[in-house]
A = this chain, B = another copy of it.
Amino acid sequence: MSEPLVVGVDVGGTKTQVRAVDSEGAVVQDVVVATRGWEASDAGAARWLARTVTDALGGRAALTVVVGAHGVETVEHARELGDRTAAVLRASVTIVNDAELVVPAAGLQDGIGVIAGTGSIVVGRDRSGARLRAAGWGWVLSDPGSASALVRDAVAALLRAEDAGRPDAVLRAHLLESVGVPDVPGLVHRLSWAQGPERWGDHGPAVTGAAAAGSHLATEVLAAGAEALAACVRDLVSRGADGSAVVLAGGLLAAVPEQRERVADAVRRFVPGAHVRHLAEAPVAGAVNLALARCGRGS
């Protein structure tokens, strides 16, 4: 009978990755499935999680499981969901928010994680180990520097520019084409009412594309978004987080190197001495590293 595995899981908004390693740390299984049927606060969440892990392990048993899960916002919720999943899996299960995988995925024990994709969040820990976060309050009112916020801010800036008689033709053209409407009233109607914030992030490439095509307004919006993320990092440092290492991750920062550089530059300006790196590993590596550490095999 083979030895039980050490397992890391990253439950994201759209896909879930399960990676299992043996006692040497060698990868035995690495599976990606759609995050379908997952609702973190749902009664079935523990069963879904246990079944997803069991299916991925192909008959082998889990020893220690660490899960970074989208939508798990409180310590109490994480503990309760972990206990229920552990009872089904008959293994040690620890659950954290998926944003908390970024720093360990970079092989670090401490630091600040910055994730900017459809949404954004900045996470760290204070000296007592308590979790700190900034942003991540949702696309409508929060999430600076995310694709959703960049579109929201770009449209608002476009409207102000139109009103002031200083239209930005490049940004306007990129946004109209991306949204598929003929004019600015159509753009506003679509993004405010017909589709709404759930789809703002889809049009992020229109903003970065407009900046690349010379739109000053788009460039200003991208710079402001980068600075707003850096301000979140500075806020966590002021609340006691260790800002010497800052790890950047998320779909937007992976896809747009120019914006990643803007964020990195802004973090270095706002937090002098910060060592900023981009996460090359998949976040699931953070869950594996945390699981290895929990059974005394961490680096």
Contact = CB atoms under 8 A, between A and B. Distances in A.
A156 B185 contact: no
A141 B165 contact: no
A39 interface: no
A191 B197 CA distance: 12
Interface stretch (A49-57, A132-140, A285-293): A132-140
A188 B133 CA distance: 15
Interface string A216-245: 000000000000000010010011000000
A192 B142 CA distance: 10
A144 to B, nearest CB: 9
A152 interface: yes
A38 B228 CA distance: 42
The listed residue with most B CB atoms (<10 A of its CB), out of A133, A165, A191, is: A165
Interface string A165-190: 10000000000000000000100110
Contacts of A159: 137, 141-142
The quantity of this chain's copies bound in the complex is 2
A165 B197 contact: no
Contact of A165 (B142, B191, B239): B239
Interface residues of A, number: 29
Interface string A126-150: 0000000111011111100000000
A243 B35 CA distance: 57
A134 B165 CA distance: 10
Nearest to A74: B185
A141 to B, nearest CB: 5
Contact of A188 (B137, B156, B164, B193): B137
A185 to B, nearest CB: 7
A163 interface: yes
A246 interface: no
Contacts of A140: 191-193, 196-197
A232 B163 contact: yes
Contacts of A197: 140, 192
A155 interface: yes
B141 A191 contact: yes
A73 interface: yes
A87 to B, nearest CB: 27
A139 B159 CA distance: 13
15 contacts: A134-B164, A137-B159, A137-B185, A140-B192, A140-B193, A140-B196, A141-B152, A141-B159, A142-B156, A163-B235, A164-B238, A165-B235, A165-B238, A165-B239, A196-B196
